Structure 1
Amino acid sequence: MPDPHDCPGCAAPDLAFAAHDHAHCAHDALERAEALTAATGARMTPVRRRVLEILLEEHKALGAYDVLARLAQEGFGNQPPVAYRALEFLVEQGLAHRIQRLNAFTACVHPGEDHAPAFLICRTCHMVAEAEATAARASLDAEAAKAGFQVERSTIEALGLCPNCRGQA
């Protein structure tokens, strides 16, 4: 199986906003997703696969209705549950993330890996980079433990300007 880190533009937040061979990393991510779902016994249906392909097309977060519009154009159906079920499956399998700030979804650049992501969201173009936030999560866990609280899930989202949009400002 190809190493998902072979494409630094997709895996590294400092390069995700830069030009890179995105077709290569999208293809590798799709192959990895197929292997991961097969290994866990989950079923990658044609709709689920297509939704992941749509999310992998760009480093942008897409809303469920954006995904649904694409599916409907391609003959997969136009009822919201079609998109929502596929997106839910991808999130549950660790193949996509929900970006709360945008009420949207983005493909995971580290599928199958135990990681603590932080999302760098460009407020202008909505490009999203996934940064490693293990240190931030460890700090949060330590502070929570002082209060007797155990964190089960957290999402870190940072809003700002990507290098391209900063250059245009």
Structure 2
Amino acid sequence: MDAPLDTAESWLAARGEKLTELRREVLSLLLANHGPIKAYDLLAALQKQRPGASPPTVYRTLDFLVAAGIVHRIDSLQSFVVCPTFHAPHQGVLLVCERCHGVEELDSPLWMETMRRELAGSGFAMNQHELEIKGLCRNCQVVTV
């Protein structure tokens, strides 16, 4: 787990920001979960290490990690997941499995560039997006008997 934390620390340093101890703890909890996790589940886990942690503590930390391009907020699941590759602003497409709640990211597919051009042609300037597409992942499509 140290490699992703080191990568996050380097990513933030290049942006002139720091991976504080609290941010490191929250990111560690996200990484240990291996999938989407709700903010209140993160809070419960964090309170084992920091009994005084409160919802604003977790939400502020998550907001920072999302803005930094390290974490995605999965609106349809009301949860958070670590980005497989850090980038900001978010430009990927999130594939969300409706059965197992797994999340996979497609990083800037070619058709997104077409959409950007179309939006620019209509006079709309897109800053960032996180598009969620819901369906079934490869594993959940396998019919079980």
Corresponding residue of 1:43: 18
Matched AA of 2:36 = A
For 1:34-90, what per-residue CA distance to the aligned partner results, in whole angstroms no more than 9, with x for missing partners? 112233332222221111112112442111111111111222534101110110111
C-alpha distance in structure 2 between counterparts of 1:135 and 1:111, whole Å: 19
Corresponding residue of 1:96: 71
Q: What are the ranges of 5 or more consecutive residues in structure 1 without an aligned counterpart?
A: 1-25
Corresponding residue of 1:145: 120
| Structure 1 segment 59-98 matched on structure 2, within 5 A | 59-98=34-73
Structure 1 length as normaliser, TM-score?
Answer: 0.75
In 2, are the aligned partners of 1:117 and 1:131 still within 8 Å (CA)? Answer: yes
Q: CA RMSD in A?
A: 2.1
Corresponding residue of 1:119: 94
Percent same amino acid among aligned pairs? 37
Which of residues 15, 21, 32 is equivalent to 2:7? 32
Matched AA of 2:83 = C
C-alpha distance in structure 1 between counterparts of 2:89 and 2:111, whole Å: 15
Q: What are the ranges of 5 or more consecutive residues in structure 2 without an aligned counterpart?
A: none
C-alpha distance in structure 2 between counterparts of 1:144 and 1:113, whole Å: 20
Aligned length: 144
Structure 2 length as normaliser, TM-score?
Answer: 0.86
